[in-house]
Each structure stands twice: as C-alpha cells, then as structure tokens.
A and B are shown apart, each in its own frame.
Chain A
Amino acid sequence: MKIPRGFPIQFAATVLLMGVGSLAAPCLAQDANTGNAISFAKTKQVLGLEGLKHNATGTLAAENGSLVFTKGKKRVAVPAASITEVMTGKDTERTIGGTVGTLTMFAPYGGGRFLSLFRTKIDTLAIEYVDTSGGIHGAIFTLREGNALGAKKALLSQGARTSVSAEVEAEAQAKPKEKQQ
C-alpha cells in the first residue's frame, strides 16, 4: 500500500490541532452567545457563598438565570437578577499549593523558596449580590487563566448587572501587556 506524499505531515498537523483545540477551552461547556448553560470546572470559591467552606473547589455555572456553584452534592445558587456587580481581575498562585505547599517551606537548602518561584496565573471573579431582605453579600472566585471574562459575560447574559462592561475590562487588562511589549 502506497502512502501519499505529505500524509505524515498532514496527520501530525491534524493531531496537533486536535490537541491544541482541547486545551484552548477545557471548561467551556457551551457558547455564551446561545444563552445556554456555561460551566467552569475547577473554580475555587474563595469566600462568600453561604453553606460552603472557604477555598472550596467545584464547578461554577451560569444556567437558568442563576449563578450555580456545585461541589460534590452541595449546590449553591444565586439568582443572576440579584447580582449587582461582577468584576474580574488577574492574580497568581503557587503551582504547588495547599498543605503540601506549606510543608515545602521547611524543605532544606531553600527548596521551598525555590518552589515558590513556580506560579500559575489565575483569574479572579468578584460578585456582589443582594439577598431577599436587602442585605448585601460578596463572593470571590478564582478560575483558570482566561476564563473570568467568559464567566462575566455568561452571568451578564443571564441577567446580572455591572458597572464596567466586559469589553472595557478586557481592554483594561490587555493594556499593561502592551506596555510591557
């Protein structure tokens, strides 16, 4: 059987594109423009949602007019209409975090400090919402890099409000990069 010329290159390119495609949007379940559910896996709820512990990792979703955070069997929903502010930001965290990360501080020869140099970029999402009695609540989430603006757009499409549009925030976050270049 004769293999056509250029087939190995085409095959390799196809495999590469498939791999890159799966990496590009690992957590987007559905498109924001359709108005359907969008979920962001491995989202950390830093604080603010009632009934959940601080730094709980779960899935953040914008569905049926609500923000829904699910961790195992626990599910907390906040009506999007009650969200009065959605803001995004950027931050970094230790690649090796948690208890293991803390224990590495005691590693000999400054090993812990060396490991602290390895950091992962993350996005932050802060929301302010109002409960049924008018009380203001705040919640903070951290997401994988590049997902916060998508989450903000998804929440806005479900009925949340903000003082700064997603486009303006995207421009503001892109400006420092341009300056560095």
Chain B
Amino acid sequence: MKCAQYWSSLLPLALVFFFTGSVASAQDATKPKIHASSIQILMAQSDEVKLPIEFQLALYENLIEQIQKTNKFQHVYRDGDTAASSDPDLVILHSNVYGFKKGSEGKRQVTTVAGATQIKVHCLFTDKAGKSEFAQDVTGNVRLLGGNLRATFDFAKKVAQIIVTNFQ
C-alpha cells in the first residue's frame, strides 16, 4: 500500500520530466543547422584569466585536431592562414577563456576527489563579416586520469560534438 502511494506521488514528477524532455528535443529538431564548408579556428583569448601558454596552445591544437576528425568541413584553417580570407563559405570560431583552475595530477591520483583541472571557454561562431551564428559556453575538465592538459582535450571533444550537432 505504501509502495503504491510512493509511486503515485512520483508519477506527476515523471510526467513533467517526460514532457519537458520532448519539448526540448522538439526545439532541437526545429533549430536550423548552420551550413559552412570551411572553418577557421582562432587562437584562444584569455582576457579575464591568466592562462599558461601551454594550455592556450593545447586548446588550439586539440580544437583543430578534433574538428578535423568530425569531417564536417572541407577545410579547417588555422589562425592567420591567408587562404581563409578567400574562402567564400567560411565560419570562424572564436574562443574566449573566462575561467581556469589548474589542478594537480598528483592530488587527483591520490585522493580521487581533489585536484581537478577546469577550463571554461565561451565559444562563438561567426561568419566572415563577424555576424554571430551560434554561441555556447563549454567546460573542459580532467577529474581523475591524465595530466592537466587533458582538460583541453576534453574541451575540444565537446566542441567537436557541438559542431556535429549544429552544423550541416
């Protein structure tokens, strides 16, 4: 009897979750995908926080590698590449680091709960004219296995997933 009461109290909550989920997926489905044949990745900027250069470079290199792996674009241009300016169908990815916490690999391995490294980045996709196409905040973490730079790999994987979802 008690069990039945318990389940009946959970039922309205389950219904709410079910409908909000379906609404969200419906919104995703109706959202038009962005079309671009090429992308240019700009070097990550860090105006608000002091980001060590190795993290800045690892962010940039991992982004290029992971975006190339998505096979969504014919060309993935680097920052400063002169050929990008003549590409007619180009989207530009701007990354601005607004949060950075350098953890400790040793602490992570010894305690398993402390010493996480986290990088918070605001990603903005624009066209050549600078018009915003899409923006999203992405967080890269490393919580247990791997060195601190693995947070940049985690971030790049998440951005690649966003591109797969939002680009044709």
Residues of A within 8 A of B (CB): 46-48, 85, 87, 89, 91-94, 102, 105, 112-113, 116-117, 119, 124, 126, 128, 130-131, 133-140
Q: How many residues of B contact A (CB 8 A)?
A: 25
With known contacts A87-B53, A92-B105, A135-B77, A117–B82 Cβ distance under 8 A: no
Interface SS of chain A: helix, strand, loop or mixed? strand
Which residues in B have some Cβ–Cβ distance to A below 8 Å?
Answer: 43, 52-54, 56-58, 60-62, 77-83, 105-106, 109-110, 145, 147-149
User: Do A137 and B105 contact each other (CB < 8 Å), given the known contacts A47-B61, A89-B52, A126-B57?
Assistant: no
Which 6 pairs show the lowest CB-CB distances between chains A and B?
A: A138-B57, A135-B78, A116-B109, A135-B81, A126-B54, A134-B80
B69 to chain A, nearest CB (A): 13
A113-B109, A119-B106 given; A102·B145 CB < 8 A: yes
Does B110 lie within 8 Å of A116, measured CB to CB?
Answer: yes
CA distance A51 to B90 in the complex (A): 26
B contact patch SS: helix
Are B109 and A134 closer than 8 Å at their CB atoms?
no
Could you tell me if A140 and B83 are in contact, using CB atoms closer than 8 angstroms?
no
> Can you list 22 A-B pairs, Cβ within 8 angstroms, ordered by A?
A46-B149, A47-B61, A87-B53, A92-B106, A93-B105, A94-B106, A94-B109, A105-B109, A117-B106, A117-B110, A124-B54, A126-B53, A126-B54, A130-B80, A131-B78, A133-B81, A133-B83, A134-B80, A136-B60, A136-B80, A138-B58, A140-B58
Task: Determine the chain A residues whose CB is within 8 A of the CB of B82 once the complex forms.
Answer: 133-134
List, in ascending order, chain B residues with CB within 8 A of A105's CB: 109, 145
A136 lies within 8 A of B78 (CB) = yes
CB neighbours (8 Å) of B81 from chain A are 133-135
Q: How far is it, in angstroms, between the C-alpha of A46 and the C-alpha of B146 when the chains are bound?
A: 12
Name A114's closest neighbour in chain B (CB-CB). Answer: B110
* Total A-B contacts with CB atoms under 8 angstroms apart: 70
B149 touches A136 (CB 8 A): no
Residue from the set A46, A91, A135 with the largest chain B CB neighbour count within 10 Å: A135
Which chain A residue has the least Cβ–Cβ distance from B147?
Answer: A93
Min C-beta distance of A33 to chain B, whole Å: 26
Query: Distance in Å from the Cβ of A48 to the closest Cβ of chain B?
Result: 5
Q: Contact check, A138 vs B61: say whether CB atoms are below 8 A apart.
A: yes
CB pair B57 A48 closer than 8 Å: yes
Measured between beta carbons, the chain A residues less than 8 angstroms from B77 are 135
Bound Cα distance A121, B56 (Å): 22
A140 pairs with B57, CB closer than 8 A: yes
Q: B110, A47: Cβ atoms under 8 Å?
A: no
B58 near A47: Cβ-Cβ < 8 Å: yes
